[in-house]
Homo-oligomer: A and B are copies of this chain.
Amino acid sequence: MQRTSFGDMACSIARTLDVIGEPWSPLILRDVWVGMNRFDQIQADLGISRKVLTERLNHLVSEGVLERRPYDRRPRYEYVLTTKGADLVDVLLVMTRWGDTWLAGKAGPPVLHRHLACGEISHVDLRCDHCGEPMHAADVELLEGPGAAQTA
């Protein structure tokens, strides 16, 4: 991360940024998600400095987003998503939709997502988990929750 740590704020966005807000972290998560599980694979794919990659992987492991596990009798390890980490991929899915919509331009999206349940090329859609209707920025009112306290 940067100098200021966001983890102390009473804000789930800030706290989440404390986990994946550092540069490269979301891309590392993406790589692991799509099956690039080894250090050298990720390093080569992203072109990230090995030093920084080490730091990020350690952080993601310590946050419980990735699990580091041996895959050989030699000291070889691979990184896999935990349940907590897989849940975080939801954020990436939404980022993908936004990037595809607003940044892809004429060339179109670089990657397509096929929904296994229906077989269609699709994007995610945000809905209220109570009523099932669309839920976006303007559809929400913010209220103070039980965990409000500390500094904002």
- Given known A-B contacts A110-B10, A118-B131, A99 and B16 have beta carbons under 8 A apart: yes
Q: How far is the CA of A53 from the CA of B9 in the complex (A)?
A: 18
B99–A13 CB distance below 8 A: yes
- Number of copies of this protein chain within its complex: 2
Convert A116-152 into 0s and 1s, putting 1 for each residue whose CB lies closer than 8 angstroms to a CB of B. 1110111111111111111111111111111111001
**Complex Cα spacing A33 to B121, Å:** 31
- List the B residue with the shortest CB-CB distance to A52: B2
Complex Cα gap A33–B13 (Å): 13
- Give min CB distance, A152 to chain B, whole Å: 6
Chain A positions 93 through 122: 1 when the CB is less than 8 Å from some CB of chain B, otherwise 0: 111111111111101111111111110111
Q: Is the CB of A125 within 8 A of B129?
A: yes
Distance of A45 Cα from B10 Cα, bound (Å):
12
Q: A109 contacts B12, CB within 8 Å?
A: yes
Which of B47, B89, B125 contacts A127 (CB under 8 A)? B125
Interface on A for B, CB 8 Å cutoff?
A: 1-2, 4, 6, 10-17, 19, 21, 23-24, 26-27, 30, 33-34, 45, 47-48, 64, 81, 84, 86-105, 107-118, 120-149, 152
